[in-house]
Each structure stands twice: as structure tokens, then as C-alpha cells.
């Protein structure tokens, strides 16, 4: 993905993945640090590149989680077949992501640390003066 060329617009970080993989938590944590982050509900769309059309990411993070993890994080009344269908709808985003991160065995702080490290490696850092920014 290419970084934004428009003056003053921070690179857009987009997070996709199945239900209860941790998308909203990471986006909230990244925004608190000043990142231009958003979640995309690609898992509910049959348009393969909806993530690209709606979100126009500069950096795409794909979260993954097993059914057991999803059931532990959220009360669900569906099984593996529905998760498999979600995974099929997410396959285009997974194939084009900049960071693939299974979240099953991670706590939110670990997810944030891994995402920030990957973003920093791509040259995307929180804006100067924002909370949580490491000064060089």
C-alpha cells in the first residue's frame, strides 16, 4: 500500500478480520496514540475488495482468531461453518494485508505492541506530541 500523498493527512491504518478478533480494541488503542486508524467490517460483505473500496488503507492489518477464541471473547450461537464463510469473505484482504496477526494467544497490550512495531517498520508512527509516542 502506498502512503498518503495529501498534505497533512496521516497514513490510514485499517484493521480487518473475523468477529471478536480484536479489531475495535486495536483501533481504539491506536487512535488514542494519534494514529489514523479504523476497522473495516469486510467479514460481512461479499464484495471481495470492500476493504479497499471503503477504507483506502495505506497499511492493512489482518487479524485472525479461532472459533474457540471467538466463543471465549463473545457469546455466539454459531459454529465453524459461519467462521469458514467469514474467512472466505476475508480472503482477498488476507492476501493483500501488510501484517497478518493471529490474536488467539495475545492480550490487547501485546497486539498493540506488535502492531506499533510493524507500523514503525513501515515508517508509520504516532504524530509528535501525541500520548505514547516514543521520542527519537
Domains and CATH numbers, the chain: 12-121 (3.40.50.300)
Q: Give 134's pLDDT tier (boundaries 50, 70, 90).
A: very low
Q: How far apart are CA 119 and CA 117, in angstroms?
A: 5
How high is the pLDDT of residue 71?
Answer: 86
- Given pLDDT bands bounded at 50, 70 and 90, which one contains residue 136? very low
**CB-based contacts of 5, cutoff 8 Å, min separation 6:** none
Residues in the chain: 136
pLDDT 10s digits, 6-40:
556 899 999 999 888 899 999 999 999 999 999 98
Q: For residue 85, what pLDDT is reported?
A: 87
What average pLDDT score do residues 91-113 get? 95
User: Cα 81–87–92 angle (5° rounding)?
Assistant: 150
| Residue 55 near residue 4 (C-beta atoms within 8 A) | no
Amino acid at each position: 500500500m502506498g502512503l498518503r500523498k495529501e498534505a497533512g493527512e496521516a497514513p490510514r491504518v485499517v484493521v480487518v478480520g473475523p468477529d471478536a478478533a480484536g479489531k475495535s480494541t486495536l483501533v481504539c488503542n491506536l487512535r488514542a496514540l494519534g494514529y489514523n486508524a479504523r476497522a473495516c467490517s469486510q467479514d460481512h460483505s461479499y464484495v471481495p475488495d470492500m476493504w479497499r473500496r471503503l477504507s483506502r488503507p495505506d497499511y492493512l492489518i489482518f487479524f485472525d482468531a479461532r472459533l474457540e477464541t471467538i466463543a471465549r471473547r463473545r457469546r455466539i450461537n454459531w459454529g465453524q461453518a459461519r467462521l469458514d464463510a467469514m474467512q472466505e469473505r476475508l480472503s482477498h484482504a488476507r492476501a493483500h494485508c501488510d501484517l497478518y496477526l493471529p490474536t488467539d494467544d495475545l492480550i490487547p497490550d501485546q497486539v498493540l505492541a506488535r502492531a506499533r512495531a510493524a507500523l514503525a517498520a513501515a515508517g508509520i508512527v504516532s504524530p509528535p506530541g501525541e500520548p505514547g509516542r516514543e521520542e527519537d
